[in-house]
Each structure stands twice: as C-alpha cells, then as structure tokens.
A and B are shown apart, each in its own frame.
Chain A
C-alpha cells in the first residue's frame, strides 16, 4: 500500500457501494497508466473509474461531451456558448439564460491539462488533485462534511449550475481549493445520461483539504451522542447544567 493509499484508507471504513475516485490533471502523459479505450463524457469517466479495475487516463479524443471540453480548458463551438444548444435541449427558455451560465462556471486553465487520470481509491498510484466520493446515503455525507467543520468551523457550500455540472465536480474544487458537493439528479446532463443514482451526494475534495478531513475522520465521533441519546431533552439539560446555562 502506498503512502497516499494509507492516508486515504480511512474512507474504506464507510464501505461505499462505489469506491471514491482520485483524479489528477496533467500536462504530460502519465507513465504506467493505460489510456481509456472508449469515448465518454467527463462525468461518465468518474463512473467508469468506480467500476474499472485499473487506473486510466483520458485525453481530449476520449471526450464524448462537447460542452464539457470547455470545462477541460479547450475551445468549443460558439453554438454552445451562444446558448442555442441549451435552448435546443430545452434546458433554458432563451439564449440569454444559457449565456449567463458561462459567467459562473470554473474551467481548467487552457493549455495546462492535456490528460486527466482517474483511479478508484483502492488502486490509486498517484496523489489525487481531487477526490470524488459518491455517498450511499445522507449519514455518510453528514460525516464527511462534518469532518470539514470539526476543526475548522467551515461553512458548507454546494455550488453548481444546472448544465455543465462537471465544472463543479472537477474544475471548481481544483481551481478554488473549496470542497464542493452536488446532489445527483439536479444536474441536467448527468441526469439525462443517468450517470449516477439520484438523490445522493457527490463530494469533491481538493488536495489541500484531504489531510484535514482524513485526520478529523480518524479523530472525531462519527455518530454524535445527540443523534442516539434516548432522551435528547435530558442530554441537552445536562450540558446546560455543566456549562452553567439556565434551562429554557
């Protein structure tokens, strides 16, 4: 087991239905990783990595979703940015609404990413730039996001646009350093393609947050006493007493 696998091994304790996926954005072709042998959308590559037994990388020729090439940092036809495509697929009423989307989304810096490597956590041969976790239920989501606030008091923020959801899974966390999560079933393209089961969370953790979150997952209680106490009123009253707070 490599150091990075050891560091991230705490995630094994969740017994996720689908393994977390590490993603790395590369200028140069990765060594000892094979090229994906098919064309997929960027979001589908995450699912492919969940199901695939070996790590892989993709280049632009592997990309089957044209709008997501923009998120990757490549130029795309003006038809997409004009909003005509979004109106054509009935995501928007008019082109103005679709055009505004491009003011919100983050993309990888053009010319800096020629390859994207994917690997399920159990096989990961690289330090991931972003770790993407598809949780099975809200309990898992709550624990992971609580590990974000346990020592740092961070706010939770889920950012996304209705289209180009891949931007918020890949580019936004990587470029801003912010943990992001999106609820499956809310993103137009992923929903149309049926990439993930609906109503779960996809949590994208950028590299800078991995040490804090994994350390907190090792330290904190996963199930808070307040969630399992038989008498919440008594439980809180005892804390009030300990802290010298008058009862309500």
Chain B
C-alpha cells in the first residue's frame, strides 16, 4: 500500500453505501487491470466500478453514449454538435441553446486519453487522477467539502450543464484541478438512465486536492460543537474574543 492509498483510508470511516471510485486517464494500456467485458455509457462506468468490486479499464469503442464521445474526445457525429439532438429530446427549445452549452463543456483532446481505468477505493492498484464519491447524504458531503476549505478558505463551487454531465464529473476536475460536486438527478442522461439515486452529491476530487482533504479529514472535528449547541458556542467565543453578544 503506497502513501496515497494509506491517506485514502480515512474515507472508509464514512461507511458509504457505494465505495468511492478511483479513476485514471491513460495513453497506454494499463497493466494488471482487466478490460471491462461489456459496453457502457460513460457515466455508467462509475456505477460499474461502485458495484462491480474489481478494477477495470475501458476503451472508446466500449463507450456507447454518443454525446459522451464528444466529452472523451473520440469520434462524434456532427448532428449532436448541431444541437438538433437536444431539441429532439425536448431539452432545448431551439438548437442554439444546445450549441451554446458546448462552449462550457470540458472535453479531452482527441486521442490523448485512450484508456480509462476505474477501481473501487479498496481495490486501488494505481494512484488515482480523480476520486469520485457518491455521498449518501448532505452531512457526508458537508464534511468532505469542509475538509477542502478548512485550511484553505476555498470556495465551494458546483459546475454542471444539463447535458453531458459526465464532463463535470470526470473531465472538468481533472483538467482544471478544481474539486467539483454535482447533484445526482439533475443531468439529463444520468437521470434518464437512472445511474445514481437522485438527490445526492457526486463529489469529484482531483489528485492535487487529495492530500489536503485527507489530511484535514484526519485533523478536523467532523461535527463541530456549534452544530449541536450554537448559542453556547457563540457565547463562549464572543466572551473569549471580547466581542459584545448582540
């Protein structure tokens, strides 16, 4: 077990219903990991890793969601880029709104990522580029996101488009280095395909944030005293700092 795998053990304390998933974007075929034996949509790869118990990798030809091919940077039919597909699905009134969305979506450059490896956290054999967590409730989400801001004062920012939600879970955090979280149930494809239970948070932590977040999860109080007795804590802090209590 290497250092990052040891660091990630702190996430076991959450007892998530579904395990966090490590993701690695690769140019070369990964060694010691099996190819997934079926075709899936891009977003479904995460569910497969959560429920499938073993690491695997996939190649572009196994990915069957055509709009997601655009996100992966593989061949994409121009009809999707024209916006007509979004109108046919009744998501957009006119094609121009769908076209505009593409200005926001992050995607990989063509043929830069030829394989993507996935693994449930406890079976990780690689240092993940990204750790994707489906929290069971907002309390877990709050603790994880507070661990990001506890020593950094970072803003909590959730970016998402209604279509191509996979971009915001997988590509955006990796390419920008920003932690992102999205609500399950709010992306059209992920919702229509019932990939995740609705109303939860999917938190994507890129590699550059893993040390800070795991370290803070080790050090901070998961439930600070103010959550259980606000009045008493404010009284005490005001007295200590010499602030009049309003």
Contact = CB atoms under 8 A, between A and B. Distances in A.
The answer to whether A and B interact is: yes
Interface of A: 39, 63-64, 66, 77, 79, 84-85, 88-94, 96-101, 103-104, 137-139, 141-142, 145-146, 149-162, 183-186, 188, 191-193, 198-199, 201, 216, 219-221, 224-227, 232, 239, 242-246, 248
B232 to A, nearest CB: 11
Given A85-B243, A97-B149, A192-B227, A150 B93 contact: yes
A162 B141 CA distance: 12
A162 B224 contact: no
Interface of B: 39, 64-66, 77, 79-80, 84-85, 88-94, 96-101, 104, 137-139, 141-142, 145-146, 149-162, 183-186, 188, 191-193, 198-199, 201, 216, 219-221, 224-227, 230, 233-234, 237, 240-243, 246
A199 B219 contact: no
A101 B225 contact: no
B153 A92 contact: yes
A153 B183 contact: no
Contact of B153 (A88, A100, A146, A216): A100
Given A84-B241, A88-B241, A184-B138, A153 B153 contact: no
Given A138-B198, A186-B138, A99 B153 contact: yes
A146 B162 contact: yes
A239 B104 contact: no
Contacts of B85: 239, 243, 245
B92 A93 contact: no
Given A93-B216, A155-B160, A186-B141, 19 more contacts: A79-B241, A90-B225, A93-B150, A93-B219, A101-B153, A137-B199, A141-B183, A151-B92, A152-B97, A155-B104, A156-B160, A156-B186, A157-B158, A159-B157, A160-B157, A183-B141, A224-B91, A242-B88, A245-B85
Contacts of B184: 138
A245 B156 contact: no
Contacts, number: 199
A101 B227 CA distance: 20
B192 A239 contact: no
Contacts of A96: 153
List the 10 closest A-B pairs by CB distance, nearest first.
Answer: A100-B153, A153-B100, A153-B97, A88-B237, A185-B138, A158-B158, A97-B153, A138-B185, A90-B224, A155-B104
A188 B246 CA distance: 19
A100 B241 contact: no
Nearest to A186: B142
Contacts of A64: 246
Contact of B79 (A150, A157, A245): A245
B132 to A, nearest CB: 18
Contacts of B77: 245-246
A183 to B, nearest CB: 6
A226 B89 contact: yes
Contacts of A94: 151
B186 A141 contact: yes
A83 to B, nearest CB: 8
Contact of B159 (A63, A79, A157): A157
A161 B158 contact: no
B230 A193 contact: yes
